[in-house]
Amino acid sequence: MDEAAGNLAGALNGLEEGLLLVVTGAGVSSASGVATFRGSEPDAVWKQSDMSLATFDYFLRDPVGQWQWYLQRFEALKAARPNAAHQALVSLEKWQRERAGRFRLVTQNIDTLHEEAGSEEMIKVHGTCDRFRCSRAGCSLGSPTGSLPRDEVDLSAFVSEPTRETLPSCPVCESPLRAHVLFFDEYYTEHQDYRFAEVEEMAMAADLILFVGTSFAVGVTDLFLQCGSRRSIPMYSVDPAASRFPQWARLIALQAPAEELLPAVCRQLGIGDS
C-alpha cells in the first residue's frame, strides 16, 4: 500500500501545472454502501437485474416497471454518505488548484456523493439521481437541455399505487417523466448536462488520468484509455479487484481499495485531513 501510494503521489507531484483528470466509477462509492454494477460482490447491480431495465426501449414498453426499479435504486442511495475516497479527491482538487494546476473530475456515478463531499470541478457524464426530465424530446423540460429537481416532483401517488395513471408527469406537457440518466441505448450527446463535448476536450488535454473504481466497460472510459494511450500520458487505475482494462492500454494498475489508497496518497503529499 505504501509503495503504491508513494508511486502515485510522486506522479501527481510531478504534474505541477498540468491537467489532472480523475475518472470515477461505482467502486469509489462502494465503501459508502452503494452497490457496484459489474463488481464481484453478490449485490452488484447487473448480477441482480437485467441490463435492459436501463434502456429507453424498456421505458417505452414498461414505464411503470422502470420507474419502480429506478426508485428502488434511488431510495438505496439516500442513506449513503461520502467516504474517505470522496474526501481525498476533494483534497487533491484543492491541492492541485492551489499550486496553479488544473483539475477535472468526470464521474460515471449518478449518486450525489462527490458533490456532498465538496467536489467542484466535476462532470456527471451519466446523469444524476437528484433530477428527472420529460420523456418527450423537445419539451422545455426534456432533452436536449431540460430537467427539473427531484424534490419538485410529487411521487406519492405512484409510490402508493404504481400504475400508468399515476406515473409522474411533466408539468409542461404532461408526458411521463423519466430518470435523468444516460440509458444504454442512448448517446452521450442526448443531453447537454452530460457535457460530452467537454469530456472529449478533457481526454485530449489531460496530462495525467487517474481512474478510480471503474470496470472500463463503457464508452467514456474507452475514450480516455484510447486518448491517453495514443498521447502516452501517465494513467493509473485504483481498484481492489484485478483491473479489467484492455491489454493495449498504457495503464498502471494499483490494486487497492480507493478509500484506503487515496487517503494514503494525500498523506504522502501532506494534504487534507486524511
Active site residues: 126
Cα angle for residues 104, 109, 110 (degrees, 5° grid): 115
- Residue 126, CA distances (Å) to 24, 42, 204, 225 in order: 11, 24, 20, 18
Q: Which of 261, 160, 268 is nearest to 213 (CA)?
A: 261
Place of cell 498502471: 252
Q: How far is residue 109's CA from residue 30's CA, in Å, rounded to a whole number?
A: 11
Q: What is the grid cell recorded at 107?
A: 464521474
Q: For 54, list phi and psi in degrees, rounded to 5.
A: -100, 50
Collapsing DSSP states into helix, strand and coil, what is residue 174? Answer: coil
Q: Are 236 and 251 in contact (CB under 8 A)?
A: yes
* Alpha carbon distance, N-terminus to C-terminus of the chain: 15
Q: Which of 12, 43, 64, 47 is nearest to 212 (CA)?
A: 12
Q: How far is residue 231's CA from residue 89's CA, in Å, rounded to a whole number?
A: 24
